[in-house]
Structure 1
Amino acid sequence: MNRMTRPSTALAMALTVMGASPAFADMDAARAFLDEHIGELSALTREEQEAEMQWFIDAAAPHAGMSINVVSETITTHEWESNVLAPAFSAITGINVTHTLIGEGDVVERLQTQFQTGENVFDMYINDADLIGTHWRYGQTRNLTEWMEGDGADFTNPNLNLDDYIGLASATGPDGLLYQLPVQQFANLYWFRYDWFNDPEIQAAFEEEYGYPLGVPVNWSAYEDIAAFFTGREIDGETVYGHMDYGRRDPSLGWRFTDAWLSMAGASDLGLPNGVPVDEWGIRVNDNFQPVGSCMDRGGATNSPAAVYSIEKYVDWLNNYAPPEAAGMNFSESGPVPAQGNIAQQIFWYTAFTADMVADGLPVVNEDGTPKWRMAPSPHGVYWQDGMKVGYQDVGSATILESTPVDRAQAAWLYAQFISSMTVDVAKSHYGLTFIRDSTINHESFTERAPRLGGLVEFYRSPERDLWTDTGFNVPDYPRLAQLWWQYIGDASSGASTAQEALDGLCAEQEAVMERLERAGIQGEFGPALNEEQDPEYWLSQPGAPWPALEDERGEPMTVAYDELIRRWTE
C-alpha cells in the first residue's frame, strides 16, 4: 500500500503537463493516479476503475476550467483527500479543487456564516451528519434525493451505489430525504492494553484486590476499578495511568460530551438510533419533532440526575486517574497520548486515531506489527438500560448549500462522489481507516490487515456497528447549541462550578437559544415550541427520561473477556 500524501512522480508529471486544463483532461492522468495510488486496493477491477474515471471525465466536461473550494476538518482521511485526491481529480476532470483543511469548529463557523449571509463561502463542506437536524429544519441545504433527480442528475455517477454506503441513515432527515453524502466514518469505542490485561501476574493481582476477573469493563464501576488499579503502577519501567481524557476549556471539549456521553451514562430515553422523545443531549421533542425543552422543568434531561452523574464521573476520573497534564489538553493534543505507552485504558476513544496507533516502532506496537492494544464497546453508566443508545459514530459528509450556484454545486458534487467512489475508497480507507462502504469493509485486503488493527475490522463487519449513531433530529441548531457545551463543561472540568451548576446553566442557555428560534419562526412547523415550566418532579415521575436519581450510583462491576466479544462480533 502506498501511503504517500503527495502526488506520485508519475501523477505529478501528468499534473504539470496538463495543468488541470480542460483541453488535456483525459485518461493519462487517471491511469497515472490509478497506477500509483490505487492498484489492487479497490472494490473494482482495473477495467471498471478506468470506466468510472472516464465517466468523471465526461461528466465534468461542461465545467472544465472551473475552480471550486471545499473545506473539511483536519483528520488523516481528509489530509489524503486534500493532498492526493484533490490534485488527481483536478488533473483527471479539469475542475480545479482547492480542498482546505481547518479545525472542526472552524468548519461549523464557516457553514454558519454562509447560512446567515447567503454568500457562497465554500462550494462544499465536509461536515458531520450531526447537523442533520439543522440541515433539515432550515431548508438551506440541498437535499440530495431531489438533487440527483434534478439539477444534479447529469452529474450523478451511475456507479454511485448508495446501497453500499453504511452511514446514509445518519444523513437522512425525518422526511426520508438524503441531505449529505458520507465520505468518512468512525466510532467512539473503548481502548485498552490487551497485553497488560492478559498478563497472568497483573490478572492475579487485580482479582485478588477486587474479587472479579480483569477484562473489558461492561459498566462504569468496573472501568473505575480498573483505572484505580493501574494508576501509579510501574510496568516496564514506566509509571502507568488507568485513564486518559482531556479537559481544556476549548471547543473540542464540547464534542467530548455531545458525542453521546450523557446517553452512555443513561440520561436519554430508550430508542435507536437516538432516544425518543429525549435524546443524548437531553433535548425533548414532541410528536412533530419540535424541541420542547432541555431542562427538567420542561421535560428535558440535560440537568437530570443521570446527566449530573455523567459529568461527576468525567471530572473524578480526569483528576484521579489520568496524567496531570490531561486536564490542560484538547482533543487533538490528547489523541496521541495512549500511543506513548503508559495508558492502560481509555473509555472515550475515537477509532479515527487507529491510523496513528499502528505505526512500526511505537511503544504500543509489537515487533511483528501487531498492536499491543485492542478496541471494544465502551462501558455504560449505572442509569443505562437495554434499548438505549450504545455509543457515538461520526459520519463526516459532503454538504452542499442552496446558496452555492448550481454550476459550482454540480462541480462540487462530482468531487464528493470521486472521493467516496468505489474506485478510490479502499485505498483511502487503508490510509485513514474511516470506513464508509460495505464493499471496502469486506475487501480482501482488510481481511489480511485485520490482525494489525486491533478489532476495527471485526467491529465494522459486525451488525453491532449500527448501534453506534451520531447526533439525531432533536438538535435544531447544532452550531449555536454545540458552542454552549464546552463553556459550561469547562467550568465543571476546572472546578469553577459543580456538575449540577454547570448543567443547570447549560440547559437554560440551550432553551434561551430555542426560545429565540421559536420567536423568529425561521424553522417553520418543525422549529422549537417550548413547554411551560413546571416542577421537575412532575417529569421525574413520568415514564422515561428524565430518570429519577438512583440511591446506588455505582452498581455491581462487570467485565467480559475480550475474546468473547470478538467471537460475538465475528459470529
Structure 2
Amino acid sequence: MKRSVMKSSTALAVTLGLLAGPAFADMDAAKKFLDEEIERSALSREEQEAEMQFFIDAGEAFKGMDIKVVSETITTHEYEANVLAPAFSAITGINITHDLIGEGDVVEKLQTQMQSGENIYDAYINDSDLIGTHWRYKQARSLTDWMANEGKDVTNPGLDLDDYIGLDFTTSPDGELYQLPDQQFANLYWFRQDWFTDPELMAEFKEKYGYDLGVPVNWSAYEDIAEFFTGRTIDGVEVYGNMDYGKKDPSLGWRYTDAWLSMAGGGDVGEPNGLPVDEWGIRVNENSQPVGSCVTRGGATNDAAAVYAISKSIEWLEKYTPPAAAGMTFGEAGPVPAQGTIAQQMFWYTAFTADMVNENATAVLNDDGTPKWRMAPSPHGAYWKDGQKVGYQDVGSWTLMESTPVDRAKAAWLYAQFVTSKTVDVEKAHAGLTFIRESTIQHESFTERAPKLGGLVEFYRSPARTAWSPTGTNVPDYPKLAQLWWQNIGDAMSGAKTPQEALDSLCAEQEKVMERLERAGVQGDLGPKMNEEREASYWLEQEGSPVAKLDNEDPEPETISYEELIKSWQ
C-alpha cells in the first residue's frame, strides 16, 4: 500500500482543509482526497472526479448537517471512520460521525430504535443476518423503493448494483432490496501450509493414518489432523490441532448461528440458505412463514445433525485446543493463530486476514512476507449433503430505518454510497480485505497481492464462494432469537446440560418467541404460523430435514492437496 499506517481522521481532515476553517464542498477537496488517498481504483481518474462531482452536487442541500452512523469495530470500518468519513465531510460539507462499537451493541441500538421510534442513528451498518427481521417488521426502508422514489435524487447513477456480490443476501423473498453491502467476509478453514507440506510430517501422518496429510474434506479427517498435531513441538513451540472459543458470552452464539449446524449437515439444501429448513433449524411454509424449530414441528434445531455438530465442537475444544480457549470470547480467540501455535482452525473468519499479514504476525509469515498458512473451504460433517451450505459469510450492510427523517436519511445514504463507491472500494478493500464488488475482486492490484493473502483472492474469484451465505429470511426476529443461542449452548459448553438437552431447550425457547410473534400479529402475513406438534417420527420419515441419527457418524476420512483444490476453482 502507499502507506503502512492508516492516517488518523484528524490528520486526513487537516490534509483536506476540513480543520483549516469552514467546511468546504468543492472539487478541490475531492482532488486532494484522490491525490492523497486513492492510489488504486476500478475507475479512471476522470471517472473518479465525475463520481465525486455527484456527491458534491447531491450533498449541497445537506451542507452543515451533522449525521451519525454506526458499525461494529473491524478493520474495514476503522478505515471508513478514520479516513473516508472526514474525506466525505470535506468534499460535501456534511459532517459525519461514524461510531465504532461492538457488534452486539449495534444490534441493541437498532433494536431500541425499532421499539421506540427514536432516531438514534441516521444509518446502521448491521449484518444482513437481520434481513428476515427487516423484511417482516417493515421498519427498515426498502432500498428498492427508496432509490426509485424518495431517495432517487441522492442515488448515485454510478452505484452499479450489479457489481455488488452480496445482494442475494440482502434481498427479501419478494425481491425488495433492504440493505446495501459494505463489507463481506467468510468463515473458512485455516491451516499451516508449511507444516502440512513438511516431508517428515507428511510421511509420519501417512504412516499413522494411512492417507495423505492435506486439506480435510470432511470432519473425520479434520479430527485425525487435530489429533496428529496436538501436543507435538514444532519450531520450539507446543502445537495444538484446533482453535476455538467457549466462554458463555454473546459471541458464542455467532459461533453456532453462523452456519455451524449446516456445516455438520443440518438443514436442507438450497442457496443462499436451506429450504424449507435453514441452518438455524427453523422451518418455513410455502409463504415463508416460520412454522417450527423443534423436530416435533418439522424443525431441526434439536435433531441428530445438530446434536452431532455441538458435540464435535465441544470434544475438539476439550481435546485439541489450548486450555485457555474454553474461557475465551470471539475477540480474544481471533488473534491466537497468528501467534504460531495452531496447526489448523475449522471456523476461521477471513476478516482476520488483515491481522495475519501485518508486522505483528511474523510467527506465521515468511521472510519475504508471504504467509506460512493458507485458507480453504471448511470440511463438512457426517450429515452433510451436496447442495447444502458449508459455511457462513458475514455481510455488514447499510440499513436506513423508517424512523429516520427523510433529509437525514438522504444525507446518510450519500455517505453509504461514498464508502462503497467504485472510486474508493479497491483502496478500502486493501485496507480491510473484505470484498463487496466484483470489479474490486478482479482488480489487477489483487492479482499482484494474492500470493501474500493465503488464498483469499482465489476464494473470492472462485464459484465456490456462493456456497457461503449469511443467516437467511427464515429467522423472523434475529435480535430476540440470537440471544437464546449463546445462553443455551453455553450450558452445553459448561457441562450443565448435554448437547441434546441444550438444543431441546433452545428450540423450545425459539418456538416460544415465534408463538408470541404469531399471537401479537406484529409481522402480519409474514410472521410465524406455527405447526401443530406431532411425533418426531412423523417428521423424521419425511424427505429432507430433520434427520435421524446415523449409524456411523465417522465416515472414511478424506483430504485433498491445496494445489488440487486451487486447480478445481480455476
Q: Provide the TM-score with structure 1 as the length reference.
A: 0.98
Matched, 1:306 2:305: yes
Q: Partners in 1 of 2:137 and 2:20 — Cα distance?
A: 41
Residue of structure 2 equivalent to 1:190: 189
Matched, 1:268 2:267: yes
Question: Alpha-carbon deviation of 1:222?
Answer: 0.3
Q: Partners in 2 of 1:55 and 1:197 — Cα distance?
A: 51
Q: Partners in 2 of 1:542 and 1:15 — Cα distance?
A: 67
What SS class does the counterpart of residue 189 from structure 2 fall into? strand
Residue of structure 2 equivalent to 1:256: 255
Q: Partners in 2 of 1:67 and 1:341 — Cα distance?
A: 45
Q: Please list the CA deviations of residues 197-224 of structure 1 after superposition, one character each: whole Å capped at 9, or x if unmatched.
A: 0000000111111111000000001000
Q: Please list the CA deviations of residues 432-462 of structure 1 after superposition, one character each: whole Å capped at 9, or x if unmatched.
A: 0000001100111000000000000001111
Q: Is the alpha carbon distance of 1:154 and 1:127 closer, same or farther for their aligned partners in structure 2, counting shifts above 3 Å?
A: same
Residue of structure 1 equivalent to 2:232: 233
Report the AA paired with residue 346 of structure 1: Q
4+ aligned runs moved over 6 Å, structure 1: none
What SS class does the counterpart of residue 71 from structure 1 fall into? strand
Structure 1 contact 143–178 (Cα < 8 Å) conserved: yes
Structure 1 contact 11–33 (Cα < 8 Å) conserved: no
Structure 2 contact 9–83 (Cα < 8 Å) conserved: yes
Residue of structure 1 equivalent to 2:343: 344
Structure 1 contact 11–32 (Cα < 8 Å) conserved: no
Report the AA paired with residue 249 of structure 2: D
Structure 2 residue ranges without an equivalent (≥5): none
Q: Partners in 2 of 1:465 and 1:438 — Cα distance?
A: 12
Residue of structure 2 equivalent to 1:93: 92
Residue of structure 2 equivalent to 1:450: 450
Q: Partners in 2 of 1:529 and 1:506 — Cα distance?
A: 19
Q: Please list the CA deviations of residues 349-374 of structure 1 after superposition, one character each: whole Å capped at 9, or x if unmatched.
A: 00000000011451000000000000
Report the AA paired with residue 175 of structure 2: G
Q: Please list the CA deviations of residues 210-264 of structure 1 after superposition, one character each: whole Å capped at 9, or x if unmatched.
A: 1110000000010000000000011011000000000011111100000000000
Residue of structure 1 equivalent to 2:498: 498
Higher mean alpha-carbon deviation, 346-355 vs 269-278, is at 269-278
Q: Partners in 1 of 2:127 and 2:18 — Cα distance?
A: 34
What SS class does the counterpart of residue 424 from structure 1 fall into? helix
Q: Partners in 2 of 1:178 and 1:288 — Cα distance?
A: 18
What SS class does the counterpart of residue 422 from structure 2 fall into? coil
Residues 106-117 of structure 1: matches in 2 within 5 Å?
106-117=105-116
Report the AA paired with residue 504 of structure 1: D
Q: Provide the TM-score with structure 2 as the length reference.
A: 0.98
Residue of structure 2 equivalent to 1:377: 377
Q: Alignment partner for residue 4 of structure 1, among 3, 6, 10?
A: 6
Structure 1 contact 65–95 (Cα < 8 Å) conserved: yes
Structure 1 contact 268–301 (Cα < 8 Å) conserved: yes
What SS class does the counterpart of residue 474 from structure 1 fall into? coil
Q: Is the alpha carbon distance of 1:173 and 1:250 closer, same or farther for their aligned partners in structure 2, counting shifts above 3 Å?
A: same
Q: Partners in 1 of 2:15 and 2:72 — Cα distance?
A: 29
Structure 1 contact 521–527 (Cα < 8 Å) conserved: yes
Structure 2 contact 60–92 (Cα < 8 Å) conserved: yes
Q: Partners in 2 of 1:542 and 1:300 — Cα distance?
A: 12
Report the AA paired with residue 118 of structure 1: G
Question: Alpha-carbon deviation of 1:45?
Answer: 1.2
Q: Partners in 2 of 1:14 and 1:258 — Cα distance?
A: 43
Give the paired residue count: 567
Structure 2 contact 364–371 (Cα < 8 Å) conserved: yes
Q: Partners in 2 of 1:20 and 1:409 — Cα distance?
A: 24
Residues 469-488 of structure 1: matches in 2 within 5 Å?
469-488=469-488
What SS class does the counterpart of residue 396 from structure 2 fall into? strand
Q: Partners in 1 of 2:76 and 2:11 — Cα distance?
A: 21
Q: Partners in 2 of 1:281 and 1:340 — Cα distance?
A: 33
Q: Partners in 2 of 1:545 and 1:127 — Cα distance?
A: 30
Q: Partners in 2 of 1:171 and 1:467 — Cα distance?
A: 16
Structure 1 residue ranges without an equivalent (≥5): none
Residue of structure 1 equivalent to 2:560: 560
Question: Alpha-carbon deviation of 1:272?
Answer: 1.5
Question: Alpha-carbon deviation of 1:534?
Answer: 1.4
Q: Please list the CA deviations of residues 516-536 of structure 1 after superposition, one character each: whole Å capped at 9, or x if unmatched.
A: 000000100010011111111
Matched, 1:14 2:16: yes
Report the AA paired with residue 338 of structure 1: P
Structure 1 contact 166–436 (Cα < 8 Å) conserved: yes
What SS class does the counterpart of residue 25 from structure 1 fall into? coil
Q: Please list the CA deviations of residues 251-305 of structure 1 after superposition, one character each: whole Å capped at 9, or x if unmatched.
A: 1110000000000000111112111100000000000001000001111000001
Q: Partners in 2 of 1:8 and 1:201 — Cα distance?
A: 53
Report the AA paired with residue 533 of structure 1: E
Structure 1 contact 72–104 (Cα < 8 Å) conserved: yes
Matched, 1:395 2:358: no
Residue of structure 1 equivalent to 2:288: 289
Residue of structure 2 equivalent to 1:165: 164
Matched, 1:322 2:314: no
Structure 1 contact 69–122 (Cα < 8 Å) conserved: yes
Question: Alpha-carbon deviation of 1:395?
Answer: 0.7
Report the AA paired with residue 362 of structure 1: T
Residue of structure 1 equivalent to 2:219: 220
Question: Alpha-carbon deviation of 1:36?
Answer: 1.5
Q: Percent identity?
A: 71
Q: Please list the CA deviations of residues 402-453 of structure 1 after superposition, one character each: whole Å capped at 9, or x if unmatched.
A: 0000000000100000000000000000000000001100111000000000
Report the AA paired with residue 440 of structure 2: T
Q: Partners in 1 of 2:21 and 2:280 — Cα distance?
A: 48
What SS class does the counterpart of residue 115 from structure 1 fall into? helix
What SS class does the counterpart of residue 396 from structure 1 fall into? strand
Q: Partners in 1 of 2:35 and 2:22 — Cα distance?
A: 18
Question: Alpha-carbon deviation of 1:28?
Answer: 2.1
Question: Alpha-carbon deviation of 1:14?
Answer: 2.8
Q: Is the alpha carbon distance of 1:10 and 1:431 closer, same or farther for their aligned partners in structure 2, counting shifts above 3 Å?
A: closer
